[in-house]
Amino acid sequence: MEKLIITAAICGAEVTKKQNPNVPYTVGEMVREAKSAYDAGASIIHVHVRWDDGTPTQDRERFREVMDAIKAEVPAPILIPSTGGATGMTPEERLQPTELYPEMATLDCGTCNFGDEVFENTMPTMRAFGRRMIENGIKPEYECFEMGHLDTILTMAKKSEVPGAPMHFNFVLGVPGCTPATVANLVWLSSAIPAGSTWTATGVGRSAFTLAAPAIVMGGNVRVGFEDNLYLSRGVLAGSNGELVEKVVRLARELGREVAGPDEARAILSIRPR
């Protein structure tokens, strides 16, 4: 079994310091959390950015500032900027970080309920995102929140509307209004991807670690972090993203799976050197 790739989603667009005071907003706080996650064993940092007051933004220059600052402190990890942004943002806003030519970026695979809001990803939007990633040589992380998202993106790949094989998927399960975070759903999704693909499991909220464990055993990869879950255990707020990563590392150790470093992750994900 290949080594385990751990992704840390360090802040997201929705969580706030009122929910957990350790959620990062400023550039310095982002660097602190990225370093804590990397030091604990994460080889990928999933990046959303905020203004200093916590307002989510997709501003290209803010992404540049945050990502350059992270690379200056910890140059090794893969940085995956979000093109999801926050609900209500336009496709043009959301695409801005792809102008920085990152190694990877997220590509959301369909519209879905997102709590009380709707996360809109129309077919024209996804085609535009796929075209941009093909043009800029960016490997997508295909984020699937619903079962139908997987079929949609596989059909688009067959039509060369998005980058094709080898593909990497992130199954984000447990978002209110979307696919529940069950082992059965994870098995179904992971068994339906093309041969040679890789995948990550993201369990939202209380599902963070109950989904991580089966993903580790099944040969998948794991994402944790403040974007998805603010608690280390029931009622215990995590002090950092690093604490959440450390828990996954402990699970992996107990289950007999080694953890990949950044260069090993690049090889597993077939990321082409720039």
Per CATH, which fold does 6-268 belong to? Answer: TIM Barrel (3.20.20)
Q: Which phi and psi angles does 147 have, rounded to 5°? A: -60, -40
138-175 pLDDT per residue, tens = 999 999 999 999 999 999 999 999 999 999 999 999 99
Q: Residue 205 — pLDDT band, cuts 50, 70, 90?
A: very high
Q: Residue 213 — pLDDT band, cuts 50, 70, 90?
A: very high
| Summary mean pLDDT of the chain | 97
Q: For residue 39, what are its two tokens?
A: 């030091």
User: What ranges do the domains of the chain cover?
Assistant: 6-268
In terms of pTM, does the model score above 0.85?
A: yes
